[in-house]
Amino acid sequence: MATVNVCNVKGEVVGKTELSKEIFERKINEALLHQAVVNYLADRRRGTAKTKNRSEVSGSGVKPWRQKGTGRARVGSNTSPLWRRGATVFGPRPRDYSFSLPKKARRLALLSALSSKFKEDKITVLDKLELERIKTKDMMAILRSLKAERKSLLILSNPDDKVKKSSRNIVNFHLKAPLGLNTYDVLSHEKLLITKGALALLEEGLLKESKTNKSDK
């Protein structure tokens, strides 16, 4: 099993902990990572882009002028796509961009993402995280001491109200519960901060799924 340092909020090493080899030392499947990220972003797309066709654009169906004898081009309606303020041909229509990804594939992609962060030494384990007051400045001081002020994701088992309110105005910083973690969350942040309690819950949940899917590779 892999061993990492456990730090306090001042960035000081206060111990060591072991990470599950089945979660943090797996072979990285880049193709599956790409598929999981595309799936996540596709699910977030609203798909509400829309243009008007000839039946929806404002205009008359009356022929603007007679067919012959005027010296002008032949026109049947002022809703033609060739006209200014006319309809749009083959424009976007409301649609659903989401697609399903097997549960096993999503799980393996998350394991690959966590393994890649461990391989890059981008995971920091905290003994605990508590704040005495609601202050963004205090939260930023903690991130600086952990060298995670740039773009980081903090995983907490049960974040209190002080931590939530102190971090909500910090740019490129997010909180996440261990059981709601996904591949995009891990890959889109430069550093991963996780408390010992959240780490235990994360490993417990993923290893429980691993027993269900014994063929995971």
Residue 106 confidence (pLDDT) above 90: yes
Q: Is the pLDDT of residue 71 over 90?
A: yes
pLDDT, one tens digit per residue, over 128-179 is 998 999 999 999 999 999 999 889 999 998 878 999 999 999 999 999 999 8
Give the pLDDT confidence score for residue 64 in this predicted structure: 92
Is it the case that residue 217 has pLDDT exceeding 60?
no
pLDDT tens sequence across 82-101: 999 899 999 999 999 999 99
Angstrom distance (rounded) from CA 217 to CA 151? 31
pLDDT of residue 124: 94
pLDDT score, position 21: 92
Q: What is the pLDDT of residue 150?
A: 87
The secondary structure of residue 133, as a DSSP letter, is: S
| Residue 60 pLDDT | 86
Average pLDDT over every residue of 64-70: 94
C-alpha–C-alpha distance, residues 174 and 139, integer Å: 12
Domains by residue range for the chain, with CATH? 2-45+101-212 (3.40.1370.10), 51-91 (no CATH)
User: Does residue 212 have a pLDDT over 80?
Assistant: no
**pLDDT interval class at 210 (50, 70, 90):** low
The 3 state secondary structure assigned to the chain is: CEEEEEECCCCCEEEEEEECHHHHCCCCCHHHHHHHHHHHHHHHCCCCCCCCCCCCCCCCCCCCCCCCCCCCCCCCCCCCCCCCCCCCCCCCCCCCCCCCCCHHHHHHHHHHHHHHHHHCCCEEEECCCCCCCCCHHHHHHHHHHCCCCCCEEEECCCCCHHHHHHHCCCCCEEEECHHHCCHHHHHCCCEEEEEHHHHHHHHHHHHHHHHHCCCCC
Please provide the average confidence, as pLDDT, over all residues in the chain. Answer: 92
Render pLDDT for 2-33 as a digit per residue (tens, 0 to 9): 889 999 999 999 999 999 999 999 999 999 99
Residue 50, pLDDT score: 96
Give the model's pLDDT for residue 133. Answer: 93
